[in-house]
Amino acid sequence: MYPLIRPFLFRMDPERVHALIHRLLRVVGQLPPLGAFVRTMYRLPERPVQAFGLTFTNPVGLAAGYDKDGIAWRGLACLGFGHIEVGTVAPKPQSGNQPPRLFRLRKDRALINRLGFPGMGAKYVARQLKYERKNGLVLGVNLGVNKDTPLIDAVDDYLALMNIFAPIADYLVLNVSSPNTVGLRRLQGKDTLHQLLTAMDNERRRSMLPEGASTPLLVKLAPDLTDGELDDALEVITDVGLDGVVATNTTISRDGLTGTHRDETGGLSGAPLQTRSTEMIGRIYQQTGGKLPIIGVGGIMDADGAREKLDAGASLVQVYTGLVYKGPNLVREIVSGL
């Protein structure tokens, strides 16, 4: 059905379409009979995966950015995702960058966004995550900083967010790689990253439960890192003892694009990112000897794309832009095809 309605949706502003679908998914999640019906439509075989101490019913998740405020995750879960990553969440509410800020590149099966972490803030999102998680769903939260936070104070934003979400999320991801918040990617530098991750890990250890349990903490990296920069980041991540990485965020590269809007600023996602993201996953796997769990994201449009990332060393995969172009059946297509 989605291929039939997609031409009509693609005539509308992409951010408006996203808001419309978001509202529909929120209703699905709020009405148990409707949610049960949708869940039956998209029922999947279980393909359990173990990663960073958690059990996932299948390896396919929803990437951060789709449900920034956590209002639609219950409806999204009915589509069969094994995990959903909410966010990126900043401590305080903010409007993000000025629209237009989301663009389709249809010929390239891609998106460019420069949203800039718009959202209702941490307290609002935390309230949205209070509901019971059914059918083994794993829920992660992607953490960012406010636009007006000086980079030198970024650690304070991350620490505040970790203290809010560690008790209620299954895992946390530090987003230090979005190209749409000025200066944020500088946090991936070796010394700066070491200071940030050490502070986060120290706070995490301080707040451990009596039985020694703690919420898994991952880092999301940019695909635009050089091999040397990636190796430095991995050295820090493994030295500090974080639980995994998400590879990758959107790219600022525009190589090979043919679609309208290709010159817009922002982060590029979708099919053009597939190869670079997979190559980076392979390098991470090799450099860490396969000991660091990887969530692979970037350009997955079908089961073959997901398999490439899993074969390269990812334990889990995530989709976003593929969902825009292929529709809600993509999750079932991937899981069934693996």
What three-state secondary structure class fits 206? helix
Q: How confident is the model at residue 188 (pLDDT cuts 50, 70, 90)?
A: low
Report pTM: 0.94
Q: Out of 178, 269, 277, 315, pick the active-site residue.
A: 178
Spatial neighbors of 191 by CB under 8 A, at least 6 apart, are: none
Would you state the pLDDT for residue 209? 54
Per-residue pLDDT for 208 more than 70?
no
What tokens does 216 get? 């898994």
Residues 210-230: tens digit of each pLDDT: 555 789 999 999 898 889 989
How far apart are alpha carbons 153 and 184 in whole angstroms? 11
Would you state the pLDDT for residue 48? 93
178 among known catalytic residues: yes
Domains of the chain: 2-337 (3.20.20.70)
Distance of CA 80 to the CA centre of its chain: 16
How far apart are alpha carbons 52 and 127 in whole angstroms? 25
How far apart are alpha carbons 50 and 32 in whole angstroms? 29
Spatial neighbors of 309 by CB under 8 A, at least 6 apart, are: 277, 278, 281, 296, 300, 317
Give burial (CB, 10 Å; 0-12/13-18/19+) of 45. exposed
How far apart are alpha carbons 114 and 100 in whole angstroms? 9
Which is more confidently placed, 176 or 271? 271
Residues 229-250: tens digit of each pLDDT: 899 899 999 999 999 999 998 9
